[in-house]
Amino acid sequence: MSQCPYNPAREGAQMSFQDRMSYVDYLQLDTILSAQTPLSDSHDEMLFIIQHQTSELWMRLALHEMEACRQALSQDRLRPAFKMLSRIARIFEQLNSAWDVLRTMTPSDYQSFRPSLGQSSGFQSAQYRLIEYAVGNRNLAMLGPHAHRPDLMAALEAELAKPSLYDEALRALARMGLPVPQDILTRDLRSPWVEDPRIEAVWCEVYRNPDRWWEAYELAEKLVDFEDYFRRWRFNHVTTVERVIGFRRGTGGTEGVSYLRRMLEVELFPELWRMRSTL
């Protein structure tokens, strides 16, 4: 005899959503789940689309956290800032794990729909560029692909007008009493960070006397942790790209792998890495 399936309504599960907000309403799933429109008949294009859409959603959260983190730093609320930095690092860990799914796509799978991508490329991801700008990698040449979208351009320009995460960190160090030079605190925010031995000396002081500068020390390690995860993301990307398209030119027009390898050399917080040799 088959048993009667258990009905959760018996313990009070709500079963009628005629006039109530339900899961699908709250999460706007109709919008999200109707946004996957493959342009080819290739089976793997769905994977490719969802991989990118989920990445963009995680980046959306990373930006949200980054914004609040910088605000907390500017108000000397270090503990909440640390919590948000830890979350951002975890988001990148999530993005790093996601490559394992995409790696199941072989070069032949990818070539079956690559022509449908036209000249679109991750190079044109405004949220990725916002993250790079927010953490301090402010290369203005990267604004180009967004010129046709005034709304995205405005968001990127607004970001460039704000102190980066590193700028906020150095301002917080100065308020703690560490000797951050004045010209660093008033630098042109739009320009890329230029490595500075005086900042390396400040971090050395922090790491030589962690008990005295504990909050600065913790901040430094959170920043290094974040950059560590970010570097892994770049590395996973370039490795996946080589695995899938070899040394072909990118749809975005760059040389592909060699461009991405060059990006591996970008250092967000150079003094924090350099001081490890001189400490």
Ligand X SMILES: N[C@@H](CC(=O)c1ccccc1NC=O)C(=O)O
Site string for ligand HEM, 13-42 (x = CB under 6 A): ------------------------------
Residue 259: contacted member of ligand X, ligand HEM, none (CB under 5 to 8 Å, by partner type): ligand HEM
259 is in an annotated binding site: no
245 is in an annotated binding site: no
Q: Which of residues 73-102 bind ligand HEM (CB under 6 A)?
A: 102
CB of 249 to ligand HEM, least distance (A): 7
Q: Which of residues 107-126 bind ligand X (CB under 6 A)?
A: 114, 117, 120-122
Residue 258: contacted member of ligand HEM, ligand X, none (CB under 5 to 8 Å, by partner type): none
> Which of 135, 155, 219, 244: binder of ligand HEM (CB under 6 A)?
244
Q: According to the binding rule CB under 6 A, does residue 250 interact with ligand X? A: yes
Among 243, 241, 266, smallest CA distance to 255 is for 241
Own/partner pairs, 46-51, CB within 8 angstroms, 24+ separation: 47/101, 47/102, 47/104, 47/105, 48/102, 48/105, 48/110, 48/113, 51/98, 51/101, 51/102
Q: According to the binding rule CB under 6 A, does residue 152 interact with ligand HEM? A: no
110 is in an annotated binding site: yes
> Which of 45, 62, 125, 227: binder of ligand HEM (CB under 6 A)?
125
CB of 184 to ligand X, least distance (A): 34
Whole-angstrom distance, CA of residue 231 vs CA of residue 260: 12
Indicate the length of the chain as a whole number: 279
Cβ-proximal residues to 251 (8 Å cutoff; 6+ apart), any chain: 114, 117, 118, 119, 120, 121
Q: According to the binding rule CB under 6 A, does residue 71 interact with ligand HEM? A: no
Whole-angstrom distance, CA of residue 62 vs CA of residue 79: 18
| CB nearer ligand X, residue 164 or residue 251 | 251
Structure tokens at 10: 């018996």
28 is in an annotated binding site: no
| CB nearer ligand X, residue 107 or residue 177 | 107
Residue 90 exposure: Cα atoms within 13 Å on the Cβ side: 8
251 is in an annotated binding site: yes
Residue nearest to ligand X (CB): 122
Stretch that binds ligand X, among 19-27, 216-224, 245-253, 260-268 (CB under 6 A): 245-253
| CB nearer ligand X, residue 80 or residue 252 | 252
Q: According to the binding rule CB under 6 A, does residue 239 interact with ligand HEM? A: no
Q: Which residues bind ligand HEM (CB under 6 A)?
A: 51-52, 55, 102, 110, 121-123, 125, 128, 237, 240-241, 244-245, 250-254, 256, 259-260, 263
Q: Which residues bind ligand X (CB under 6 A)?
A: 52, 114, 117, 120-122, 245, 250-252
Feature table: binding site for heme? 237
